[in-house]
Structure 1
Amino acid sequence: MGEGHSKSHASKPPPLLSNPWRKINWGEKQSVLQFVKNYKPHVEGQQIRILLHGPAGAGKSSFINSVQSVLRGRMYTLALEDNISAGSFTKKYTTYKIQREDPQSFYPFVFNDIMGLEPIKGVHVDDIKLALKGRVMDCYRFNPESRLSEDDPFYNSSPADNDKVHVLVCVIPASTVSQMNDKTVQKIRDIRMEASALDIPQVAIVTKIDEVCPEITNDLQNVYKVKYMKEKMEQFSAEVGIPMKSIFPVKNYHDEINLDSDIDSLILSALQHILTVGDDHVNFKKTQSGC
């Protein structure tokens, strides 16, 4: 993705913008939280399936856990995480449901975690394309050398609508946007083209934003005032084609032991957009069933 910014530039980010380039209501977290808690697809029995993909160590599992923590009101670990970024920790296709306060009730959306997009030993792109169509069953163990075959017991030959992906989310760390391997970028583009052909909306989440600028480290509310952060997002948008309006910077919960309102606000902002475009996709597919 090019050589990107020099270390000297990264260590000395430009001054904060006088006005944020994107508005977010930091003090109104509860209203967005209520939106998510009240969210219900227009189609009865519908479940919004959200597929996360991206480089190994990007924070896909951490994002799932962070969403769970925000919605449950306490720190929660649903998806297993790993602090070592050498290779993908996720090996199997897994669906994660998020439980409501009622133990017998779940939110009408699920997350699917997937093996990382390493240039050589990462998930096979064809497996992600099959997952988009609902062809991959839970617990399928990814094989970087070959795609899921139709005679495999984990191949879903008759996927229901709830098996199919309704939102594709690319997760990328802010600190490595400029250093992504060209093969990884090409994989992201290939997956994006397949999703576009299926009319699946695409969102990007830029993680680890607190690691790129001290201004953000000291105060998350500066995220939309730091020009360097905007440049990172614009660079990623130009490389893979996801529009800026669908790219959201977040900080996942990592070493915190208590919830933080600013972290929650960024996570909820991204989640609200994901659910909205997912719902639009489902409604569009229902009205265009003859196409």
Structure 2
Amino acid sequence: MARKNYPFLRAIGAFYGLPEPAAEAAESPTLDEPWRELNWREKQENLRYVQEYKPQQDDIRYLRILLYGPVGSGKSSFINSVSNVIRGRMTIPALASAMTSDQSFTKRYETHKFIKGRGNAKTFYPLVFNDMMGLEDGTNRGVHADDIKLALEGHVKEGHKFNPVAPISQHDPGYNPTPSADDKVHVLVCVMSANTPQMKSSVLEKMKSVRETASDLGIPQMAMMTHVDEACCETEKNLRNVYKSKYLRKKMRDFSSAVGIPMNCIFPVKNYSEEIDMNDDIDTLILSALRKMVDFGDDLREDLN
């Protein structure tokens, strides 16, 4: 039996100069081996894959990726981070808030394109992200789930200002009655924060409702788990611990069970926030997820053909 549980024996040990027994080793917060393999040296290969991507159909100029999720999950910051990676420098195409709030910073339906190169003649990568107001707890708060569903079908015009009380109607000037193939969403991505203690039940219900509509439309779905460095001290020390972190793996599993997105469609990432220079490890995680978005979007178009 351990001597530390018996004061009398501990006193005798001290009298004879015996060393204090070592405390029981705390359980390690990381696994010995990563639970998901990631080649941290494949950044350039994935970057070329994304940069050289071209839609095969003549009626589609852009692969359209719609981001949705709770307020403060980091949707706008992720768009900025993707822009940084693709362009190889710090950029800010999407305005993002650095303040913690329970209200959405983004109010309108916004499309973000990424410029190729520099100069007067602007060309864009055939990849766009749509950002929107975040989901909030309760009724008449945040983006209405029906607005997200309409956006999936291309019925929401660029710049439409969301009304939390009532979803967009066919008589609204922001409603697009005849969406083209280019207006429709090809990949739906849920963005959630690893730093959130527990997602509210009303938010989960809205997310499930959106997922059901996307499934009916045959739209591929993914999830991004942001703020992994803030949620896990081991990942903060070394981002390459992301797939060794027991906490992050459990967080992803819990989210997968709550929302229904399979684990192999959930990707942990770190957005650019405090950095002023590019970072290979941040880029590698973002590109790993971005390549899957491109692949999933291509799968959808092949099915449509």
TM-score normalised per structure 2: 0.88
Distance change in 2, residues 1:263/1:180 (3 Å): same
* 1:204 corresponds to 2:220: no
In the alignment, what sits opposite 1:101?
A: 117
Number of residue pairs aligned between Structure 1 and Structure 2 = 274
Q: Which runs of 4+ in 1 moved over 4 A?
A: none
Q: Deviations over 1:98-119 (max 9, x none)?
A: 1111542111111000101001
* 1:225 corresponds to 2:225: no
TM-aligned CA deviation for residue 84 of structure 1: 2.0
* 1:253 corresponds to 2:272: yes
Indicate the structure (1 or 2) with the bigger Cα radius of gyration: 2
Contact 2:87 2:117 in 1 (8 A): yes
In the alignment, what sits opposite 1:239?
A: 258
Distance change in 2, residues 1:14/1:236 (3 Å): farther
In the alignment, what sits opposite 1:81?
A: 96
Identity of aligned residues (%): 51
In the alignment, what sits opposite 1:91?
A: 107
TM-score normalised per structure 1: 0.92
Name the CA distance, whole Å, in 1 between partners of 2:126 and 2:262.
Answer: 26
In the alignment, what sits opposite 1:4?
A: none
In the alignment, what sits opposite 2:143?
A: 123
Contact 1:13 1:213 in 2 (8 A): no
Higher relative contact order (CA 8 A, sep 6+): 1
Name the CA distance, whole Å, in 2 between partners of 1:228 and 1:170.
Answer: 20
In the alignment, what sits opposite 1:43?
A: 57
Letter aligned with residue 99 of structure 1? I
Name the CA distance, whole Å, in 2 between partners of 1:140 and 1:264.
Answer: 32
Contact 1:56 1:85 in 2 (8 A): no
Q: Deviations over 1:28-65 (max 9, x none)?
A: 21011011111112223522110000011110000000
In the alignment, what sits opposite 1:150?
A: 170
Contact 1:94 1:112 in 2 (8 A): yes
* 1:283 corresponds to 2:299: no
Letter aligned with residue 85 of structure 2? V
Contact 2:29 2:247 in 1 (8 A): no
Q: Deviations over 1:176-210 (max 9, x none)?
A: 1x411100011110100010000000000000000
Contact 2:59 2:181 in 1 (8 A): no
Structure 2: runs of 5 or more not aligned: 1-25
Name the CA distance, whole Å, in 2 between partners of 1:51 and 1:13.
Answer: 40
TM-aligned CA deviation for residue 283 of structure 1: 1.3
State the superposition RMSD in angstroms.
Answer: 1.2
In the alignment, what sits opposite 1:15?
A: 29
